[in-house]
Chain A
Amino acid sequence: MFRIKVPRFWRYREFRYRLSAWKCIHCGEIHFFKPLVCRRCRYREFSEVTLPYTGKLLAYTIVRSPPAGFEEYAPYIIGLIELEDGTRIVSQLADVDPEELKIGMKMEATFKRIREDGVDKIIAYGYKFRPAIQ
């Protein structure tokens, strides 16, 4: 089970809260969490970038058999989104019923509660995508 401990959660907040990521200066590969070495070209310098908040829906599914800690949220939708810059991101989808989803539709990032965990009831927040509001 994915345990939410404060330091473990806090250290990844830039990506989860703001889609802040790391771009390899040499080959342009996007890394969601700060790497030491680029997985693609092995270069060691990166610039901090904010990923586009919009993109299109490539595929989606509904989690009906959830992992421990997610029981009370199931069923929930998991989607694959291709952001404007071509980066593919896996995300929960929010504010939408599955019947309203169409492959190729425009999606936008939103800031949501992911779940509560542990005896201290720590609340984890992060990005979710929803159909873009025109």
Chain B
Amino acid sequence: MSRVYVAGVGLTKVDEHWKTSLEQLVTEASLKALDDAGLESVDAIYVGSMLSEILQEQGHLGAVLAEELGLSGIPAMSVEAATASGAASIYVGAREIESGRAKAVLVAGVDKMSDGMAEEVTSALMVGEKQEYTGFIGATFYSLNALIYSLYMKRYDVSQEKIALFPVLCHEHSVGVEHAQYPFKIKLETVMNSPYIAEPLRRFETTAIADGAAALILVGEEFASKLKSPKTELVIEAATDYVTPFQREDPLWFPALQLATTKALERAKISRNEVGIIEIFDATSIMAVISLESSGFASRGEAWRLLENGELSLSGSLPCNTFGGLKARGHPAGATGVYQVAELHLQLTNRAKKNQVDRAITGMAQTLGGLASTAFVTILKKVM
């Protein structure tokens, strides 16, 4: 089985790109990734998108992107796993490299939410839940998060102020980040005074309308030694769970994330304490907290301590969401998983500019579909 290397990354700024189309965004990110790797072409293309078929009514993104890149002729297709669609494209691309069938693959993630009205985007984001059950009664993604949030605070006797520190941390890290949607600091009071979106969940504990695309070039061992671009080694694992969290034994636990984390650590042959940087899936503050616990980086009900002790800061023992995470870099749904891995790659190849974390040789990205019904865990290692 061939090892998999990231040999190039491309990002667009996460923003509301009124003048730019979905196709242009994903093409821009893909061209940047090809240029970064110093490649003209690849053997296959995989595109992750959650919302394009709903908001742009544009499917068939594989052929669309291949044409935009002037690469029609090569195999290309889209991969979908709700908000984890970008990570799903990495998974499929990495497996193709491992199998030896491809030497170089382009994987991309894209979504453009500003093409929808607020209600349309809220609806579109519900496709990752069970439509005939929670969708039918108008239970939004955020309302399900809010129920979990209430249960969490009650069971562990933790106040909202402790959990709402997560968005504050993300904004601290996004300051000066060129590709971040919201590159500025916010205070805890700002989060706590922001309006409820579904109580107790507040606006600033969630993400906003975002457009963006990110791309990676994955290569096998043969190409890795030929290309001059900086490289990292990639391992990716995945797992699934029941779609509605309240059907699970414990709605305050993400077993799929636990499983994918264990599998990824095993295959990368590292232990948790060797993970030097972590990218968490903070679609909401409460998901970030439960993720840290389910993946074994904090004890049950105690993730807030990592925040309070500063361990998740850039200078802490486990720098977390080093470019602002979903909250502050932005969360363009299907693109997010690719942003997370691209950011780890920038860190481990010493190209993170002012956000550079010292000494890290290994990073982990966790990407979730829905309320952790799908979990992808990617581990990147510095190539010495």
The interface residues of chain B lying within 8 Å CB-to-CB of A124 are: 136
Distance (Å) between the CB of A89 and the closest chain B CB?
8
In whole angstroms, what is the CA distance A49 to B126 when docked? 29
Q: B301 at the A/B interface (Cβ < 8 Å)?
A: no
Query: By CB atoms of chain A within 10 A, which of B133, B139, B146 has the most?
Result: B139
Does more than half of chain A's interface fall in helix, strand or loop, or is it mixed?
strand
Residue from A2, A61, A103 in contact with B199 in the complex, judged by beta carbons closer than 8 Å: A61
- Complex: chain B residue closest to A73, CB-CB: B138
Docked Cα-Cα span, A93 to B148, in Å, equals 17
Q: Cα distance A2–B138 when bound, in Å? A: 9
Interface of B is mostly: helix
Which residue in chain B gives the minimum CB-CB distance to A115? B138
Tell yes or no: A28 within 8 A of B by CB.
no
Most chain A C-beta atoms within 10 Å of own C-beta, residue among B122, B151, B197, B200: B122
Q: Does A96 sit at the interface, judged by CB under 8 A?
A: no
A125 CB to closest chain B CB (Å) equals 11
User: For residue B146, which residues in chain A have a CB less than 8 angstroms away from its CB?
Assistant: 59, 61, 78
Choose from B118, B137, B198, B246 the contact partner of A88 (Cβ within 8 Å): B246
Whether a CB of chain A sits under 8 angstroms from the CB of B147 is yes
A39 on the interface (CB 8 Å rule)?
yes
Residue of B nearest to A9 (CB): B136
A63 to B150 Cα, complex, angstroms: 14
B225 at the interface (CB under 8 A from A): no
Chain B residues with CB under 8 Å of A68's CB are: 117, 119-120, 122-123
Per the 8 Å Cβ criterion, residues 1-32 of A in contact with B are 1-2, 12, 16, 32
- Chain A, range 45-86, C-beta contacts under 8 Å to B: 58-71, 73, 76, 78-80
Q: Check A105 for interface membership: any CB of B closer than 8 A.
A: no
Report the tally of A-B residue pairs with Cβ distances under 8 A. Answer: 113
- Check: B244 CB closer than 8 A to any chain A CB: yes
Report B115-160 residues with CB < 8 Å from chain A CB. 117-120, 122-123, 126, 131-140, 142-144, 146-148, 150-151, 154
| Interface: B100 (CB within 8 A) | no
Q: Cβ of A65 and Cβ of B140 under 8 Å apart?
A: yes
> How far is the CB of A88 from the nearest CB of chain B, in Å?
4
Q: How far is the CB of A53 from chain B (nearest CB, A)?
A: 17
Of B140, B144, B150, chain A has the most CB atoms within 10 Å of the CB of B140
CB A79 to nearest CB in B, in angstroms, measures: 8
Interface centre among B133, B134, B143 (most CB of A within 10 A): B143
- Per the 8 Å Cβ criterion, residues 76-134 of A in contact with B are 76, 78-80, 88-92, 103, 114-115, 124, 126, 128
- The answer, yes or no, to whether B247 is at the interface (CB within 8 Å) is yes
- The reply to whether the CB of A33 lies closer than 8 angstroms to some CB of chain B is yes
Known: A39-B242, A58-B151. A63 touches B143 (CB 8 A): yes
B195 within 8 A of A: yes
B201 an interface residue at 8 Å Cβ cutoff?
yes
Q: Is the C-beta of B223 less than 8 angstroms from some C-beta in chain A?
A: no
Contact A78 B137 (CB under 8 A): yes
**Which residues on the B side are within 8 Å of A71 (C-beta)?**
119
Q: Are B147 and A65 in contact (CB under 8 A)?
A: no
Query: Which residues of chain A have C-beta atoms less than 8 A from B118's C-beta?
Result: 65
**A92-B137, A92-B138, A126-B137 as given contacts; A64 in contact with B195, CB under 8 Å:** yes
Q: Within the complex, what minimum Cβ distance (angstroms) separates A15 from chain B?
A: 8
CA distance A78 to B196 in the complex (A): 14
Distance (whole angstroms) from the CB of B304 to the closest CB of chain A? 19
Contact B132 A67 (CB under 8 A): no
A61 touches B143 (CB 8 A): yes
Q: How far is the CB of A113 from chain B (nearest CB, A)?
A: 12
In the assembled complex, the CB of B33 is this many whole angstroms from the nearest CB of chain A, namely 34
Q: Is the beta-carbon distance between B119 and A66 smaller than 8 angstroms? A: yes
- Taking CB atoms, residues of chain A closer than 8 Å to B132 are 12, 33
* 17 examples of A-B residue contacts, CB within 8 angstroms: A58-B151, A59-B146, A59-B150, A62-B199, A63-B142, A63-B198, A66-B119, A66-B122, A69-B119, A71-B119, A78-B137, A78-B198, A103-B154, A114-B136, A115-B138, A126-B137, A128-B137
Chain A contacts to B: CB under 8 angstroms: 1-2, 12, 16, 32-33, 39, 58-71, 73, 76, 78-80, 88-92, 103, 114-115, 124, 126, 128
Mark B residues whose CB is within 8 Å of A.
117-120, 122-123, 126, 131-140, 142-144, 146-148, 150-151, 154, 195-201, 242, 244, 246-247, 251
Ranked nearest first, the 7 interchain pairs of A and B with the lowest CB-CB distance are A61-B146, A67-B123, A59-B150, A70-B138, A68-B119, A61-B198, A68-B123
